Amino acid sequence: MARNDIHQLYETLINTEFALMPRGSHQLQSVYHRVQTQYGHLCDDAYTCDDSCGTAKAEPEWHHAIRRALDVLTTREIRSAVVFHEGHGWWRFEPAPIPNAHH
């Protein structure tokens, strides 16, 4: 079961659709860096995937939360209007669409 900080990070990224990311294309490592800079209090490098789900990976679990949020935002589960997968390790972040004003 995920810790509260990992869950909070995931929910924040889903709810904001990665608003912290500058618009344009970014490698996944840049996304990790930006998230850690913005939400460092939710990014515990000592808590690994192995600790969370026993996968024998030494990667921080918060990386997994980021990838899961990106995947959810680009699939049928929640189709984001601003997050797009461009290919292996690359993500594109677009400005939020402006709703049509009805007069």
Q: pLDDT tens, 20-79?
A: 999 999 999 999 999 999 999 999 998 887 766 766 667 899 999 999 999 999 987 777
Q: Are 21 and 93 in contact (CB under 8 A)?
A: yes
CB 96 within 8 A of CB 82: yes
- Predicted confidence at residue 97, as pLDDT, reads 77
Average pLDDT over residues 5-12: 96
Kindly report the number of other CB atoms within 10 A of residue 81's CB atom: 11
Q: What is the pTM of this model?
A: 0.85
| pLDDT for residue 51 | 67
